[in-house]
Amino acid sequence: MAKKKLQRFAEMKAFDCVFEPENDVMTGGDFHMKGRWHSDYFGNRNPITLELGCGKGEYTIALAGMYPKRNFIGIDIKGARLWRGAKTVDQSGMDNVAFLRMKVEFISNFFAPGEVQDIWLTFSDPQILDHKGTKRLSAQSFLDRYAKILARDGNIHVKTDSNFLYDATLKAIEKGAHKLLTHSNDIYGSGFSDFTLAQREILGVRTFYEGKFLAKKENINYIHFQLNEQAHQT
């Protein structure tokens, strides 16, 4: 392995803001922080937002800067990408951010019912060939997992360049009778005037992948929804 990569992996282990469970811990039942993120890490009761598939954690860090009275956890399976966000947090001393290296499939091992207030899916892989819905992070099988950890009035935000993912997510929301609050298939174009100033500020955060898609002049989609009450009971 390249020297730089090895050095970054070593740094990851030393960052206070990073949690990197071994595979057997990730899959093996409740993680020791489940239900304890407020008390044992953040030291407050402020609401927790997750960014799933956060890559370098741009959304996590930008939102944490905008909302110091909220807590943020960026989650991704790729340690090399998480390193970038973790390094920024370590150097800046931000105390409302953590990063968790794990697969979203096991999320209910990591958070207790109602422990999470908001979830962001930022430029998730559209998984066009995932007909069974076992990989797409906005498929019903994942919404079922999110229902186990989200507060009843919790929110899910999807921001994507993929028109396929946008349509597939809208279909999943309709099929599951979830509550669609806002959606736009061109947030910087035709949809822009529909957003409040605060929404524009939040949606204006640009991730690494978003930068690539914008350079190709692709439209950017956004969906904001809540899970239906029944979903939380199953």
Ligand X SMILES: C[S@@+](CC[C@H](N)C(=O)[O-])C[C@H]1O[C@@H](n2cnc3c(N)ncnc32)[C@H](O)[C@@H]1O
Q: Of 53 and 191, which has the nearer Cβ to ligand X?
A: 53
78 counts as binding ligand X under rule CB under 6 A: yes
Q: Of 32 and 78, which has the nearer Cβ to ligand X?
A: 78
Q: How far is the CB of 98 from ligand X (least distance, A)?
A: 15
Q: How far is the CB of 228 from ligand X (least distance, A)?
A: 24
Whether 153 sits among the annotated catalytic residues: the reply is no
161 counts as binding ligand X under rule CB under 6 A: no
209 counts as binding ligand X under rule CB under 6 A: yes
Which of these is catalytic: 90, 125, 130, 144?
Answer: 125
Q: How far is the CB of 85 from ligand X (least distance, A)?
A: 10
Closest CA to 57 of 169, 182, 209, 198: 209
Q: How far is the CB of 214 from ligand X (least distance, A)?
A: 11
Which one among 25, 62, 77, 112 touches ligand X, defined by CB under 6 A?
77
Show contacts with ligand X in window 90-149 (CB under 6 A): 103-105, 122-125
Catalytic site residues? 125
Residues engaged in binding ligand X (CB under 6 A): 53-55, 76-78, 81, 103-105, 122-125, 207-210
